[in-house]
Amino acid sequence: MYPTDKPSPSLLRGMTQSRLGRRDALRLGGLSAMGAFLAACGVEGKGKPQASIAPDAVAKFWSGKTQSGKLDFANWPLYMDPKKPELKKFTQKTGIQVTYDEVIQEMGPWFAKVQPQLSAGQSIGYDLMVITNSVQFGQFRDSGFLAPLDHSKLPNYAANAAKSYATSSYDPGNVFSIPYASGITGIAYDPSKIKEPVTSLADLWNPKYKGKVGMFKDLQELANFGLLAAGLDPSKSDETSWKAAAAKLKEQKDGDIVRNYYDQSYVDALGKGEVWITQAWSGDIFQKNVSDGTNFKFVIPSEGGTIWTDNMAIPVTAANPVDAITLMDFLYELDNATTLAEYINYVCPVPGAQAQMKKHAAAASGEDRDFLLSVADSPLVFPGDAEYKRLHYYVNFNTAEEKNDFERVFQPIVLG
């Protein structure tokens, strides 16, 4: 029987439209919003950059810390079943009470809000937060605002997480964070308009689709595809690479191949036939097909796509870090990771949840069964090893000057 403390999949399908705003909020936390917001507030990432931590940092942080029986958790809206079944199970198992607040709307404003307290060594009122691998993640990390994780307290993570997450460019080895959920930037297309299989970034430059191609206006997303199309690795790129990528993107633009540079409105443009092929976010396309009955295809191009990740991290001033890391590991228990993925529909960091979800489907019936099978069988939720190997993180900036140089190179593409 399908779990009774979880809303039915048919209800989740009805929530699709509102949940699309989650990715749009994430996008707003990128370069442009961060720069504008922090400039207005006079806030900069302060603190000594720390590309690595001292050998004894983990022992020093966790020494003498014990479980207190409570924790405060800051997350994004609509990123957990409203009934909080996972948190109820956690409290039942551990006795730890969780106060859960959906207070993170954009990364730039979130960093600006908590930076003063963290700089002063004060609590921000939360022991656990979910932050994106954006510019702000680097600011949190390099300012010394994140607690180094004691991986001896994360056995479920070690056993169940996809191994690719340990090689991320923004937090190699998961020193400060472990994933909550991820998404993929790839190519979506309408097979009723495009009959040939779409396999390559070159399809976004194909003159055959002149005026019917959509690209993202978000600079990090746009730049990654320009870099990959030019045969360059975003994680190893520099200003010379950025200029080569910008030239590739300008070629596409000057050929009138691009209809527009979109925010999340690309989904509507695809649905209306204004574009036939576009940069796309995996969760959007999965949800669009489920909610509207469309048959749009999503592919990771042969040159690679982008993976973005929302990560659980503990503020260095957390009052209850042991309770927080206990919850982090609990969410990596197989059944808990599965029910989260059934609600969120973004990339699940636990590959084994796929088989578990199929067990849930076998116990369900009708539309509920069909929905769970569609999630379990979707490469947008459970990419295989071959897909993971083709995914790249955003360009990583070591200094504010690098970020500004990056913006100067790519902004003319979307503004000119």
Confidence of residue 12 (pLDDT cuts 50, 70, 90): very low
> How open is the CA angle 292-347-357, to the nearest 5 degrees?
80
User: Residue 6: what pLDDT?
Assistant: 37
Residue 317 has pLDDT above 60, yes or no: yes
CA distance 223 to 244: 10
Confidence of residue 133 (pLDDT cuts 50, 70, 90): confident
CB 347 within 8 A of CB 381: yes
Q: What percent of the chain has pLDDT over 90?
A: 65
pLDDT digits (tens, 9 = 90+) for 261-300: 998 789 999 999 999 999 998 878 887 887 788 999 999 9
pLDDT digits (tens, 9 = 90+) for 136-186: 898 899 999 999 999 999 999 999 999 888 888 789 999 999 999 998 999
CB 372 within 8 A of CB 363: no
Number of DSSP helices (H) and strands (E) in the chain, helices first: 19, 10
User: Residue 187: what pLDDT?
Assistant: 97
CB 343 within 8 A of CB 87: no
Residue 413 has pLDDT above 70, yes or no: yes
**Is the CA virtual torsion 342, 343, 347, 353 positive or negative?**
negative
Q: Name the helix (H) or strand (E) containing 130.
A: strand 128-132
Matching residue, tokens 């309770």? 323
Residue 46 has pLDDT above 50, yes or no: no
pLDDT digits (tens, 9 = 90+) for 318-371: 999 999 999 999 999 999 999 999 988 889 999 999 999 999 999 999 999 999
Residue 376: closest CA among 386, 388, 364: 364
Rounded to two decimals, the pTM is: 0.75
Helices (DSSP H) in 131-265: which residue ranges?
Answer: 135-142, 155-160, 219-229, 239-254
pLDDT digits (tens, 9 = 90+) for 82-95: 899 999 999 999 99
Confidence of residue 245 (pLDDT cuts 50, 70, 90): very high
> Cβ neighbours of residue 28 under 8 Å, at least 6 residues apart?
106, 108
Rg, Å, the chain Cα set = 21
Confidence of residue 52 (pLDDT cuts 50, 70, 90): low
Q: Which domains does the chain have, with CATH numbers?
A: 9-42+57-183+308-357 (3.40.190.10), 184-307+391-414 (3.40.190.10)
Residue 381 has pLDDT above 50, yes or no: yes
User: Residue 257: what pLDDT?
Assistant: 98
CA distance 281 to 296: 12
